[in-house]
Chains A and B, each alone.
Chain A
Amino acid sequence: MSDGIKHRRPLSDFSLGDKPGVNWNRVKDKAFRYFGIFCTAFGLIALAIFLMDIVIRGIGRINWSFLSGMPSYLPEKAGILPAITGTLWVLVLTAIISIPIGVAAGIFLEEYGKKNRLARIIEINIANLAGVPSIIYGLLGLEIFSRMFGMGNSILAGSSTLALLILPVIIVATRESIKAVPGSLREASFGLGASKWQTIWMQVLPASSGGIVTGVILALSRAMGETAPLIIVGALAFVPFVPDSPMDEFTVMPIQIFNWVSRPQQGFIINSAAAIIVLLLVTFVMNGVALYFRNRWQKRVKW
């Protein structure tokens, strides 16, 4: 709508019968434009300052021994290998748990679900779950996965917790992109004699895959940055080994950063800046990939 407006500038932009003197309404209008630019710039400049500070402080510390080293009580010797592998483990397991359930739930709700009271309750419920603070999921994971299911402080317990956390996001993304598939496509498929399942599997899912992939990547990148739930579930701050099974104890990048930033020594602060560079790089790459998928999908598919 705003682009439509652009062609029709407000009357006040033209000097129709201008009275002599200052038109305060127009001054206010101008002033607000600059204030708007200032505010928009504020967020971006803050982001830029933060990033620059991080890069200046941390870039020198990034080298092979940092990436492949074990944590240490000496900041110069400490590395992030256990944190990187821990993050990878958690991400992969979270994806394995959450994607099938989330996508299946999305398909079911959108294609099979009836529009009745229960469906409305579930919808409100999913929206509500998306608003629950992540730390509450941590408490849930601690009690259910760690204690009741006896997973302890394992990678599996952490991944299960994160999977619950991002399920609402994946479900909503799946539903939205399925909703965007036009009815005509389904009708055509039914008209050719395809069953409901064949229609979903061969027509609807491929047509909506771009949106689903975007949603899943964004959800996983969110899971990667989560710290609090994993701390609650019992991820450790100091892990001097590389985890090699889902039942191992573990740490992840954000917890390693949290641990280092809470220490007074300057060396650890530099380490945390360096680890942040690595974490942000991965986060931005994931977001970039998601954006790429979204754009390609939007361009390719024109109904």
Chain B
Amino acid sequence: MSILTTAGILYVLISESAGFFSQVSLVEFFTDTEWTPLFSEKHYGILPLLSGTLLTTAIAIAVALPIGLTVAIYLNQYASKKVRSTVKPLLEILAAVPTVVYGYFALMVVTPFLQKIFPEMAGFNALSAGIVMGIMIIPIISSLSEDALFAVPRSLREASYGMGATRFQTSFKVLVPAASSGIIVSVILAISRAIGETMIVAIAAGQQPNFTFNPLVPIETITTYIVQVSMGDVEHGSLGYQTIFAAGITLFAFTFILNNISFWVKKKYQEKYE
């Protein structure tokens, strides 16, 4: 069944995007800096959608990595057992909230707040979508990293304390390096989640494919574009319809590669400890 699903995904993406790439060359797809398949003057350059996706993802990771890792270390090294067993499930609530709700937060709460700091900021922008996405993926990083820290052999900690190291020194000089592969896996999974995230960016980041890395203006991500086309009336079988599969295969390639890297890191790490 799982093999069938994978085969199905690959078949659908490849067969539909083959139709697309028979009419649009790969060179144009990867080098054109405009993406306007739905306008009368058509351009098929994925770069603006890619830049939008990477921008929101980068902001999300910039928020989630320091906070998530600090939370993991705090819960593992400093917090009492009681605090740890209450806070961890509480933080995991963050991951259970439907993403459309986060979209609402980004648009209605975070953007108005940020507009007080950056008055020139547009109503739809990459910054607030990215920040909210970051909050959403904190639990992925904090939970998985905490598990990795937890798995570090106790003898290593004891040795470090025995040398007179503080918790802080033990954390950063012994535990984090020892658990680094687990932490890397958590970050890769978080990135892959952020790249594929749809509703937050569809609601709060806008629907204008701009080739820019300015976080204050509206952008469009790959996922938003797919949603935008699906909501409109695009004829089945047309080139416009096929664009969403071309965009989809790009997205799939990214997350597929990231997932495999994380799998590979995990495997190497397990071998090291057993």
Interface residues of A (CB under 8 A from B): 1-6, 8, 10-12, 25-26, 28-29, 32-33, 35-37, 39-40, 42-44, 46-47, 49-50, 53-54, 57, 101, 105, 122, 124-129, 131-140, 142-144, 147, 164, 167-168, 171, 218, 221-222, 224-228, 231-232, 234, 237, 254-255, 257-258, 261-262, 269, 272-273, 276, 279-280, 283-284, 287, 291
Chain A proximity mask over B151-184: 1 for CB below 8 Å, otherwise 0? 0101001100110111111110000000000000
B55 within 8 A of A: no
Q: Please tell me if the beta carbons of A8 and B161 are within 8 angstroms of each other in the complex.
A: yes
| Interfacial chain A residues near B89, Cβ < 8 Å | 291
B103 within 8 A of A: yes
CB < 8 Å A-B pair total: 254
Interchain CA distance A33-B25 in the complex, whole Å: 55
**A43/B100 contact (C-beta < 8 A), A6-B81, A11-B164 known:** no
Q: Please tell me if the beta carbons of A127 and B263 are within 8 angstroms of each other in the complex.
A: yes
Q: Please tell me if the beta carbons of A47 and B189 are within 8 angstroms of each other in the complex.
A: no
B150 within 8 A of A: yes
Q: Please tell me if the beta carbons of A133 and B256 are within 8 angstroms of each other in the complex.
A: no
B interface residues, tally (CB under 8 Å)? 87
Interchain CA distance A262-B94 in the complex, whole Å: 23
Contact partner, A32, options B75, B76, B168, Cβ 8 Å: B168
Q: Please tell me if the beta carbons of B104 and A261 are within 8 angstroms of each other in the complex.
A: yes
Contact partner, B105, options A8, A12, A36, A50, Cβ 8 Å: A50
**A131/B198 contact (C-beta < 8 A), A2-B77, A232-B227 known:** no
Q: Can you list 22 pairs linking A and B with CB atoms under 8 Å apart?
A: A2-B77, A6-B81, A10-B170, A12-B167, A28-B168, A39-B74, A49-B109, A54-B101, A105-B1, A124-B263, A129-B2, A135-B223, A135-B248, A143-B245, A224-B98, A227-B100, A228-B202, A231-B231, A255-B100, A258-B100, A283-B97, A287-B93
**A276/B101 contact (C-beta < 8 A), A47-B93, A47-B94 known:** yes
| Interfacial chain B residues near A3, Cβ < 8 Å | 81
Q: Please tell me if the beta carbons of B12 and A143 are within 8 angstroms of each other in the complex.
A: yes
A-side binding surface: helix, strand, loop or mixed? Answer: helix
Q: Which of B31-39, B42-50, B65-73, B208-216 contacts A (4 or more CB under 8 A)?
A: B65-73
Q: How far apart are A9's CB and chain B's nearest CB, in angstroms?
A: 8
Contact partner, B71, options A36, A129, A225, A232, Cβ 8 Å: A36
| Interfacial chain B residues near A137, Cβ < 8 Å | 9
Q: Please tell me if the beta carbons of B13 and A139 are within 8 angstroms of each other in the complex.
A: yes
Q: Please tell me if the beta carbons of A283 and B5 are within 8 angstroms of each other in the complex.
A: no
Interchain CA distance A9-B267 in the complex, whole Å: 33
Which 8 A-B pairs rank lowest in CB-CB distance, beginning with the nearest?
A133-B196, A36-B74, A225-B98, A228-B198, A29-B166, A131-B259, A29-B168, A10-B161
Interchain CA distance A139-B236 in the complex, whole Å: 13
Residue in B closest to A46 when the chains form the complex, CB atoms: B135
